[in-house]
Amino acid sequence: MTVRKNDPKVVEKALNTLFSSEWITETSQKSGFIIRNRKIDPVIFFWTLILGFGMSMQQSLAKLRRAYETASAKSIVPSAFYDRFTPGLVALLKASVAHALSQQIAEPTRVLSEKLKGFSDLVAADGTILRLHEKLAKQWPACRTNHTKAAVKIHMVASALVAGPRHVALYSERTPEVKTLKIGDWVKDKILLMDLGFFKYNLFSQIQEHGGYFVSRLKGNSNPLIVSTLRKCRGYSIDLDGKRVRFLLESLKRQVVDAEVEVAFRVSAANQKTSLKAETYRLVGLMNQETKEYNLYLTNIPADRISAEDIALMYRARWTIELLFKELKSSYALDQISSAKPEIMEALILTAILTLIVSRKVLSVIQLAYPEKVKRMTTLRWSNVFAVGAYRTLESVLVEAGRDPDAFGLLEFYMAEVIDPNVSRERLIDPWTTYEPK
């Protein structure tokens, strides 16, 4: 997308390109969220949800309903609004996440450095746990039910090229990490950074079979066989070939270990039996100067493509996905979901994810307009800035979409909200005073 620096409406145009009014309306109908547009405008509802609740501006559905009324210039009773949190809305938001992620992948905002020449992306996989209302325990069971009955695991694959998520999925907390990462052709030429929750030789083998690469910490009970040393030490040194890794760790003094190792693991066969399979990977170890212990990594990236030191340095980039989860919880209301209704819970989690994606889209527009300032634009600082401007963004996006948020004046808005729906409710002061307009 080409940005004209003198275009004051470039942000709202970019967001309306990402989610056009036509796309929102059509997808709302396909998903079953909207059957008739008489009560709810799907475009206004969508953007109010993303830039309202998702920005922590409206921490309750009641406040969110009032924000919708302000934006749509229509008064709506609470029940009609709350009833919109249905499986149809969840389907709309899931389709929106998939749509936005596909757009992000097609339009990366960054490029890999010369050190990663020949690779197509650097991605990190991880998950975070979100506690839920105990009434959701049947659908989303937690692991430790003595203090938490229900919990959801949010699995994410984050991309360095888009500085955000490229895949998101929800699982029960009981789902093992390794089962949340689906390997396919998408991993080709990509480097996957994974923590120990994904450590499984079968998974590494699948990544390699699909033309991908991985970097993982070596699990504590893993003891592969060293078959050849890739980096020789000067003078007298211990011969590593043919020895087990754990046996050597206490006696090694070298700062860097770089070797090929053989691992053996069982794989499922067509006749439902398992067979033993052996593969050769690369072991990288760097001495921690404070603890005097090795930080060990397992990878299938050849030594002539990335050095041992850079393997360890690159693995530290996995921390960026932790920052994404921190941003989701601290800036985009992910930790404020307490509803016992499954549709509301899932809709608001997806809303937080969409808000993150929209935030990244706006940031990419700003970076494209001011490329000389990109290095000084940190994502956590940006999330705070985006929160401050969220309401103004909502107004501008709706105007660009052909909706007029100023059509509903303050008088009408306050009048619609202040009237008690219980017409027969009596106040203690009523027998003693009456209202006489002057």
| Average pLDDT value for residue range 81-90 | 88
Tell me the C-alpha distance between 71 and 45, whole Å: 9
- Mapping DSSP to helix (H, G, I), strand (E, B) and coil, where does residue 210 land? coil
Mean pLDDT (whole number) for 119-129: 94
For the chain, percent of residues with pLDDT exceeding 70: 86
Average pLDDT on 247-266 reads 84
Do 285 and 255 form a contact (C-beta atoms < 8 A)? no
Mean predicted confidence (pLDDT) in 376-393 = 84
Reported in sequence order, the residue ranges of 91-208 that DSSP labels E, i.e. its strands, are 121-132, 150-159, 164-172, 190-194
Output the six-digit token pair for 344: 């509301």
Give the pLDDT score at 38. Answer: 64
Res. 275: pLDDT tops 50: yes
Q: Percent of the chain, pLDDT > 90?
A: 46
Is it the case that residue 408 has pLDDT exceeding 50? no
Averaged pLDDT, 419-432 = 64
More confident residue, 316 or 235: 316
The Cα 180–Cα 114 span in angstroms is 31
Residue pLDDT, tens place only, 35-73: 765 678 899 899 989 988 665 544 567 777 777 777 776
Both structure tokens of 117: 């020449």
If we measure between CA atoms, which residue out of 354, 378, 361, 369 comes closest to residue 108? 361
**CA atoms within 13 A of residue 125's CA, in its CB half-sphere:** 25
Q: CA-to-CA distance for 152 and 141, rounded, in angstroms?
A: 8
**DSSP tally for the chain: helices H, then strands E:** 14, 9
**For residues 335 and 130, what is the distance between their CA atoms, to the nearest angstrom?**
7
Confidence (pLDDT) at 374: 82
Strands of the sheet containing 294-299, edge to edge, are: 164-172, 150-159, 121-132, 190-194, 213-217, 294-299, 274-287, 256-268, 225-229
Q: Identify the band that residue 270 occupies on the pLDDT scale cut at 50, 70 and 90.
A: low
* Residue 377 DSSP SS3: coil
The stretch 278-286 carries a mean pLDDT of: 94
In DSSP terms, which residues pair with 339 in a beta bridge?
Answer: none
